C-alpha cells in the first residue's frame, strides 16, 4: 500500500516555479513530500537559476534513491533485505547518516534509534491500516530494535544488520541531511542566499536580496496548516519541527503519532511539537525527533545542556518550554485536546 501511495505521489509530482518577487522559487515532490527551494537571485539569469535549483534537487533525489525504505532497490532497502544474512556494500552517504544517527542515539540514551523499522512497520501510522498492534507483535518488533544490531565496516564499506528481520529507517534524519546537501550544491553554484525546505526540515543560508534574513514560521500543532505560533528571522541556520499532528490516529480518545519510543514500543507522548534550531539540518531533524521521544522533562533538561541547539517545545497541555533565542519570544497560545 505504501509503495502504491509513493508511486502515485511520484506520478503526480508537481513542478512549479514562481518569478517576479525578486526571488526564485521552485517546488517538486521528492521523498514523498513537497520540497521547496527559494533563492536570492544573486545576479543570475533565469536559466542559470533553474539549472542551479536543478542541481540542488538532484542532490535530494540522490538521498532518496539511496535511503528510501519505499524504494525496494535503494541501498538502504537492500541492507534491510539482507538483515541476518550478509553485509551489503553501502554508499558513503548512507554510512555517514547511520553514524550520525548513532551519535544522536548515544546522546539521547537510545530515545533516537534508526532500528525502529520493525515498530514503524507494525503500527503502520500514516497509512489507512494504522492500528494498535497486539502485545505479542510489539514484543517481537522490540526484540529487533537496538543500534547494537548495526555493524558498520568502514574499511570494507559495508553495513550489516545482525538480526534477521531487523531494519533501519532513516526517516527522522534523511530529510534534514538532504537539505544540507542541497544547500551545499547552491553554495557551490555561487548563490548568495536561500532556503531549502524538505517539508518541516528547513535550512536557511545567506540573506534575501535586500540583505535581510529569511523568515520561517513554526506551525501551530493544533491549528490549520499554515497557522503559526511564531515567526523568526533566520540566516545560516537549520530549523526542524517534529510533531504529533502530521501522521497520527486517535483511538478511544488517545492520539497515537508516528514517532516511536524504542524503549516501550509505543508512540511517544507528552509533547505536541518540538522545534530545534541547529547549524546543520541533519542535527536539527534528528534532535527534533529525539527530544519528542524523551518527553518534556528529560528533553528540556537535555536541551539546557546543549547550547548549540535552541529548542521550542509545546507540551500536550499547551505549556511552552524554550531555550536559546526562543526564551522570552512571544509564542501564540495553543489549544489542547483531541
Ligand atoms: P520526524 O518526522 O523527523 O520526527 O521523523 C519521524 C520518522 O522517523 C518516523 O516516520 C519514522 O520513520 C522514524 N522514527 C520514528 N521513531 C523514531 C525514533 N525513536 N528514532 C529514530 N527514528 C524514528
Ligand atoms: Mg526528525
The pLDDT of 227-245, averaged and rounded, is 97
Instruction: Write out pLDDT tens, residues 287-307.
Output: 999 999 999 999 999 999 999
The pLDDT of 258-282, averaged and rounded, is 98
CA angle 37, 275, 234 (to 5 degrees): 50
Report the separation in Å between the CA atom of 43 and the middle of ligand 2, taken as the mean of its atom positions.
34
Report the separation in Å between the CA atom of 111 and the middle of ligand 2, taken as the mean of its atom positions.
12
Residues touching ligand 1 (Cβ under 6 Å) are 112-114, 116, 120, 169, 171-172, 242, 258-260, 262, 285, 288-289, 293
* 0.75 surpassed by pTM: yes
Q: Is the pLDDT of residue 321 over 70?
A: yes
> Which of 263 and 7 is assigned the larger pLDDT?
263
Cβ count within 10 A of residue 308? 11
Q: What is the pLDDT of residue 130?
A: 96
> Which of 225 and 140 is assigned the larger pLDDT?
140
For ligand 1, atom 5, which residue shows the shortest CA distance? 172
Query: What does the alpha-carbon distance between residue 252 and residue 131 come to, in Å, rounded to a whole number?
Result: 12
Report the separation in Å between the CA atom of 86 and the middle of ligand 2, taken as the mean of its atom positions.
29
Q: What is the pLDDT of residue 328?
A: 87
Domains of the chain, residue spans: 70-161
Q: What is the pLDDT of residue 22?
A: 83
Q: What is the pLDDT of residue 56?
A: 98
Report the separation in Å between the CA atom of 173 and the middle of ligand 2, taken as the mean of its atom positions.
5
Instruction: Write out pLDDT tens, residues 149-168.
Output: 999 999 999 999 999 999 99
Q: What is the pLDDT of residue 335?
A: 80
Q: What is the pLDDT of residue 338?
A: 58
Q: Is the pLDDT of residue 19 over 70?
A: no
**For ligand 1, mutation pick of 201, 262, 265, 289 (most atoms within 8 Å of CB):** 289
Q: Is the pLDDT of residue 196 over 80?
A: yes
Atom of ligand 1 nearest to the CA of 101: 21
Task: Write the class of the CATH domain 70-161.
Answer: mainly alpha
Indicate the range of 2-11, 177-186, 230-239, 261-270 predicted with least confidence: 2-11
Amino acid at each position: 500500500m505504501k509503495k502504491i501511495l509513493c508511486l502515485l505521489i511520484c506520478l503526480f509530482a508537481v513542478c512549479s516555479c514562481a518569478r517576479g518577487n525578486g526571488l526564485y522559487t521552485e517546488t517538486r515532490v521528492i521523498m514523498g513530500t513537497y520540497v521547496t527551494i527559494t533563492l536570492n537571485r544573486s545576479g543570475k539569469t533565469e536559466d542559470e537559476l533553474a539549472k542551479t535549483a536543478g542541481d540542488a534537487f538532484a542532490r535530494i533525489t540522490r538521498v532518496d534513491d539511496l535511503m528510501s525504505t519505499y524504494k525496494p532497490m535503494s541501498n538502504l532497502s537492500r541492507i534491510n533485505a539482507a538483515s541476518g544474512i550478509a553485509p551489503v556494500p553501502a554508499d558513503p552517504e548512507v554510512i555517514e547518516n547511520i553514524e550520525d544517527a548513532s551519535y544522536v542515539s548515544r546522546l539521547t540514551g537510545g530515545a533516537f534509534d534508526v532500528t525502529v523499522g520493525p515498530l514503524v512497520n507494525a503500527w503502520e501510522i500514516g497509512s489507512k491500516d494504522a492500528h494498535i498492534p497486539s502485545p505479542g507483535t510489539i514484543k517481537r518488533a522490540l526484540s529487533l530494535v537496538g543500534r547494537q544490531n548495526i555493524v558498520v565496516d568502514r574499511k570494507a564499506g559495508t553495513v550489516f544488520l545482525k538480526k534477521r528481520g531487523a531494519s533501519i529507517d532513516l526517516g527522522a534524519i534523511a530529510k534534514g541531511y538532504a537539505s544540507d546537501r542541497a544547500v551545499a550544491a547552491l553554495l557551490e553554484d555561487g548563490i548568495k542566499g536561500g532556503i531549502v525546505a524538505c517539508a518541516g526540515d528547513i535550512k536557511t543560508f545567506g540573506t534575501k536580496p535586500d540583505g535581510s534574513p529569511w523568515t520561517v514560521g513554526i506551525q501551530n500543532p493544533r491549528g490549520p496548516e499554515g497557522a503559526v505560533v511564531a515567526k523568526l528571522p533566520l540566516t545560516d541556520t537549520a530549523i526542524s519541527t517534529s510533531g504529533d499532528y502530521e501522521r497520527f490516529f486517535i483511538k478511544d480518545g488517545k492520539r497515537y503519532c508516528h514517532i516511536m519510543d524504542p524503549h516501550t514500543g509505543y508512540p511517544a507522548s507528552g509533547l505536541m511539537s518540538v522545534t530545534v534550531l541547529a547549524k546543520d539540518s541533519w542535527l536539527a531533524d534528528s534532535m527534533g525527533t529525539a527530544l519528542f521521544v524523551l518527553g518534556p522533562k528529560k528533553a528540556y533538561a537535555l536541551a539546557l545542556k546543549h547550547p548549540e541547539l535552541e529548542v521550542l517545545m509545546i507540551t500536550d497541555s499547551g505549556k511552552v518550554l524554550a531555550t536559546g533565542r526562543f526564551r522570552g519570544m512571544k509564542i501564540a497560545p495553543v489549544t489542547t485536546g483531541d
